[in-house]
Structure 1
Amino acid sequence: MDDLNRELARFHRYAEHMRTLVGEAQSKAPPRSEGTDSAEVVHVVLGPDGIPASIRVAMDWRQRTSPQNLRSAVIEACEAAMAERLGAWTRSLQQDGWQDRMDRVQAGLDGKSAPEPETGGLPPAFRRDPNRPPPRPVDQIAEDMIRAFDTLDDREARSADMATGIVTGSGTSGRLTVTVNPTGLESVTAEESWLAGRSGDTLTAAFENALAAAKADLKRAAQDPAPGSRTAMKDLFDETLALLNDASRLSE
Structure 2
Amino acid sequence: MSTLRLRIELNKGRIGMPLHKLAQVCQETTRFLDMLCEDIGLSAPKSGWLAEEFENASVDFDVRHPDIISEQLAALGRRALRMVLSDDYDDPALGFAIRIETRRQYKRIGGALDPDEVARFGIYKNGEQSPEQWFELHRTEVIDTASGLIDRNAYGEIQGTVNAFFKEHSPPYLRVRELATGVLVNCYFRPEMYQTAVELLEDRDAVVFVEGWIKEDAATGHTREIRVQDFRPAPEFDPNLYRRMLGALPDYTGASSSEDFVRSWRDDG
Give the TM interval when normalised to the shorter protein.
under 0.3
TM-score by length of 2: 0.23
Which protein, 1 or 2, shows the higher relative CO under an 8 Å CA cutoff with sep ≥ 6? 1
TM-score by length of 1: 0.24
Q: Structure 1 or 2: larger helix share?
A: 1
